Amino acid sequence: MLSYAESVARIHEALGLPLDYAATRRLALVPEATQLIEADIDSAGRPRSLIPAAARAWRELKAAAEANGVTLELVSGFRSVDYQRGIVERKRARGLSWEEILRFSAAPGYSEHHSGRAVDINAAGCRALEEDFATTPAFAWLQQNAPSRGWRLSFPPDNPHGIAYEPWHWLFVGHS
């Protein structure tokens, strides 16, 4: 049986991903979460899952925001390696280059969503997964309040991973 790292390497080989991807992007392999619970329902009515600690932290974050008059909408949570592979394959099928794809999507095996601790967040009236989320009261509230609740913005402007600014993408790192 293949290890997780070997399975991911085979996926990368099958996709034709650059061999130096992890090193050049300064990304670590992210193991897939195995214990997930429903954290919330997204705006399309689909259940979204996270690991139990992150699910509880998400609910607390959302409730705290609501108590301050800010509504946070969960766009996505856990994504499997296979799901991430599908995202990449669909983008390749549309003719995007690896540089274009990897600027906006982590390669399978390297997405924080695999951990079950990452969320993509939106606000009412804002297009999901767009930089203009950074201009919303929801983002301003997150910047002020999420870090003290164990959340961090993963991909700020000019991050060392070469991933585009994603004001909507937050990772639960736990309480310090």
**Predicted confidence band at 176 (pLDDT cuts at 50, 70, 90)?**
low
DSSP assignment letter at 93: H
Query: Mean per-residue pLDDT for 61-89?
Result: 97
Span 82-101, pLDDT tens digits: 999 999 999 999 999 999 99
| Residue 32: per-residue pLDDT | 97
**Predicted confidence band at 109 (pLDDT cuts at 50, 70, 90)?**
very high
**Predicted confidence band at 76 (pLDDT cuts at 50, 70, 90)?**
very high
Strand-pair partners of 122: 73
Burial class, 173, CB count within 10 angstroms (exposed 0-12 / middle 13-18 / buried 19+): middle
Query: Mean per-residue pLDDT for 141-156?
Result: 98
Percent of the chain with pLDDT over 70: 99
Those residues with Cβ within 8 angstroms of residue 25's Cβ, 6 or more apart along the chain or in another chain: 102, 110, 161, 162, 163
| Residue 44: per-residue pLDDT | 87
**Predicted confidence band at 175 (pLDDT cuts at 50, 70, 90)?**
confident
| Residue 126: per-residue pLDDT | 93
Where do the domains of the chain lie, and which CATH numbers do they carry?
4-172 (3.30.1380.10)
**Mean of the per-residue pLDDT values of the chain:** 95
| Residue 56 reports pLDDT greater than 70 | yes
**Predicted confidence band at 46 (pLDDT cuts at 50, 70, 90)?**
very high
